[in-house]
Chains A and B, each alone.
Chain A
Amino acid sequence: EPEVTQTPSHQVTQMGQEVILRCVPISNHLYFYWYRQILGQKVEFLVSFYNNEISEKSEIFDDQFSVERPDGSNFTLKIRSTKLEDSAMYFCASSVPPDGYTFGSGTRLTVV
Chain B
Amino acid sequence: AQSVTQLDSQVPVFEEAPVELRCNYSSSVSVYLFWYVQYPNQGLQLLLKYLSGSTLVESINGFEAEFNKSQTSFHLRKPSVHISDTAEYFCAVSRTSGTYKYIFGTGTRLKVLA
Interface residues of chain A, those whose CB is within 8 Å of chain B, are 31, 33, 35, 41-45, 48, 50, 55-56, 91, 95, 97-106
Contact = CB atoms under 8 A, between A and B. Distances in A.
Given A42-B104, A45-B101, A103 B90 contact: no
A85 to B, nearest CB: 19
Given A43-B90, A98-B51, A100-B34, A105 B43 contact: yes
Given A91-B43, A98-B32, 20 more contacts: A33-B102, A35-B102, A42-B105, A42-B106, A43-B44, A43-B102, A43-B107, A44-B104, A45-B102, A48-B99, A55-B98, A56-B98, A56-B99, A56-B101, A91-B44, A97-B100, A98-B100, A101-B102, A103-B44, A103-B45
Interface in B39-87: 42-46, 49, 51
Contacts of A31: 99-100
Given A31-B100, A55-B99, A101 B46 contact: yes
Contacts of A48: 99-101
Contact of A50 (B32, B99, B105, B107): B99
A41 B42 CA distance: 15
B100 A95 contact: yes
Which residue, of B42, B90, B102, has the highest number of chain A Cβ atoms within 10 A? Answer: B102
A1 to B, nearest CB: 11
A104 B49 contact: no
